[in-house]
Amino acid sequence: MTMQFNDETFRGDYSYFNSPAAVKRFPFPFDQDSYMYSVNIEQHPGGPKGSPFEFAFDVDEHYVAEMKDREITLAGDPMRCQSLPHMELAGWDLLELIMVSKARDYPELFKLTRDGNDWHWVNKPLGIEKRFTFLDPTTLPCGPMEYITRQAQGDFALLHEREGNLWLDAGMITSQADWSLDFDVGMNFFEWHAPVPKARKMGVFDKALKFLLAVGQDQSYRRLNWTMTVNPRLDTSPENYHKWGPEKRTVTPENVGKKQFLRVELQTFWRLPRSNALAFPIRCYLANLEDIASQPKWGRRLHRVLRDIDPDLAEYKGFAVNQKYIVDYLSQFDDGAETSPGIFPD
């Protein structure tokens, strides 16, 4: 294996860190100096070599640590993974999509051999080797969705299409930005997104649903979403708010650069072949303000975005209580120069 994986944690001592290379490939979500909701969907995969957009599913230095964190979360709360009975075929579709993609894009890390329905899967980073029969759940230690998402970074929602809507009927959700699979499972697209301020009135979700319903076989797309969190914690679930919520009050002008993190979601959308379900992977990336400010363009732009953002969005995005500390810290990196278009660093 050529990729080096970090020895790090997303809880407790919070030893998570980004290498300089990881900072430069961070999916910075702002392509201009201001922010308001938009659908911002583009084709996926496809992007600069080495970027998170290059391959179907990004594998990076945090892979092994993220999988360990998922295991801890599931051990404490198995309901973070749920699949309604009619979604098993979608789980097999997702398993196929992830295994085929990873074996193709990272052959030094993953290998998949198929002889009809007799499959042999090798995951070198996690030390997994498994022979199983595709579409036969008795040959796996758990359901197909759970099996493969215990080996894939990010959260995964499987959406069932019916009644002109999309229904959240299965998912593996352990790194979410303050929403609960156990509460939302079985909800439709609008119910699931009801807590988001302003967007429904702006028609954002109507446009998004119309687009997603039109996604056909062999089509896949992506968008970036973002929020902010204190400390590099993946599991910011409502169920564990008592653990991470009080941490917001631990930020000071002296530590804000290290403790305040920009949390970016690379959301992708895939129409699955047998079930016709829509797969919705949600990959979380974390970078603290020091990481962001190491790229001059990003430091300038993030200062302007967070300084001028709508107060309702600052509250929803989880940083209103520390907004002054954040903006004051970032102001030292904003020299007033123009920023170049796009999300990539100069």
Question: Which residues are marked as active site?
Answer: 223
Beta strands in 32-117 (DSSP E): 42-43, 81-83, 110-115
Would you give the end-to-end CA distance of the chain in angstroms? 31
In sequence order, the 6+-apart residues with CB closer than 8 A to the CB of 151 are 67, 98, 123, 126, 128
Task: Please say whether the beta carbons of 124 and 131 come within 8 A.
Answer: no
Length of the chain: 346
CB 149 within 8 A of CB 172: yes
Task: Find the farthest-apart pair of alpha carbons in the chain and give their distance in angstroms, rounded.
Answer: 62
The DSSP call for residue 332 is T
Pairwise CA distance, residues 306 & 31, whole Å = 14
Contact by Cβ (8 Å): 264, 235: no
Under 8 Å between Cβ of 133 and 118: yes
Q: What is the chain's alpha carbon radius of gyration, rounded to the nearest angstrom?
A: 20
CA distance 70 to 284: 13
CA distance 127 to 112: 14
Q: Is the peptide bond before 45 cis (omega within 30 degrees of 0)?
A: yes
Phi, psi of 317 (to 5 degrees): -80, -5
Rounded Cα distance, 153 and 65, in Å = 10
Pairwise CA distance, residues 179 & 263, whole Å? 14
41, 40, 45: which is closest to 59 by C-alpha? 45
